[in-house]
């Protein structure tokens, strides 16, 4: 009878994105995905053609702070094609979250492009938890820039950074 050898398999997924900034919706995707994967690499895409509120360095630093107590989460950044980065890191899959049908259209298009670029790469999508349905980085930035609270939407450290960067209290002036 053959006995099965036990190999230590690292079942790793890459969670790519802009994370400008990370929201509780993203955090939830990572925590839930850790029930499926042994390791998640949260990877900030370096995209010089897009304008971002936070630099890559700032986003990587915030992500590192948010996941500092999660030993199975690594934070990194990458440039170039995502599928090349996935292969370079030896990951099993690309992980993405989906909230709405608009997300679905965009994700489906990207997934097909990735698959045609690299047929060996698998892609896994997690539906958002209902309470995070409307948490988008751009809406959150608008709320904070207008003096609203994003306490329910982003980790404390992120809210503090958003406030520092975006909130310019109005000076009382003549009406
Ligand atoms: O958080 P975002 O902005 O929706 O993330 C988009 C991201 C970074 C996943 C996507 O733009 C990407 O994969 N960029 C890397 C470049 C690439 O591989 N492009 C071709 C496949 S769409």
Torsion of CA 93, 97, 102, 108, to 10 degrees: 10
Q: CATH number for the domain including 70?
A: 3.40.50.620
168 in a structural domain: no
171 in a structural domain: no
For residue 127, the model assigns a pLDDT of: 95
* Token pair in block for residue 122: 């698998």
Q: How far apart are CA 3 and CA 6, in angstroms?
A: 9
For residue 1, the model assigns a pLDDT of: 54
Counting from 1 in the atom list of ligand 1, the atom nearest the Cα of 20 is 1
43 in a structural domain: yes
pLDDT tens track for 122-149: 999 999 999 998 889 999 999 999 999 9
166 in a structural domain: no
Q: pLDDT category, 48, cuts 50, 70, 90?
A: confident
CA–centroid distance, 167 to ligand 1, in Å, is 28
170 in a structural domain: no
CA–centroid distance, 7 to ligand 1, in Å, is 33
Q: pLDDT category, 18, cuts 50, 70, 90?
A: very high
CA–centroid distance, 49 to ligand 1, in Å, is 12
pLDDT tens track for 161-172: 999 999 887 777
144 in a structural domain: no
74 in a structural domain: yes
Give how many domains the chain has, as a whole number: 1
Question: Mean per-residue pLDDT for 74-103?
Answer: 97
32 in a structural domain: yes
Residue from 78, 86, 110 whose mutation best tests the ligand 1 pocket (most atoms within 8 A of CB) = 110
Domain range spanning residue 75? 12-129
The answer to whether the CB of 98 is under 6 A from ligand 1 is no
């Amino acid at each position: 009878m053959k006995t099965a050898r036990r190999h230590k398999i690292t079942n790793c997924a890459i969670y790519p994105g802009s994370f400008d900034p990370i929201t509780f919706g993203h955090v939830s995707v990572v925590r839930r995905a850790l029930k499926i994967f042994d390791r998640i690499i949260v990877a900030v895409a370096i995209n010089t053609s897009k304008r971002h509120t936070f630099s890559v360095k700032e986003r990587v630093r915030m992500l590192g702070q948010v996941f500092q107590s999660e030993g199975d989460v690594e934070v990194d950044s990458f440039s170039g094609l995502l599928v090349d980065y996935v292969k370079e890191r030896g990951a099993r899959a690309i992980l993405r979250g989906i909230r709405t049908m608009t997300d679905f259209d965009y994700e489906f298009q990207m997934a097909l492009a990735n698959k045609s670029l690299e047929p060996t790469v698998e892609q896994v999508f997690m539906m958002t938890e209902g309470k995070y349905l409307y948490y988008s980085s751009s809406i959150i930035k608008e709320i904070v820039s207008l003096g609203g609270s994003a306490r329910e939407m982003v980790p404390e450290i992120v809210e503090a950074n958003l406030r520092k960067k975006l909130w310019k209290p109005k000076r009382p002036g003549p009406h």
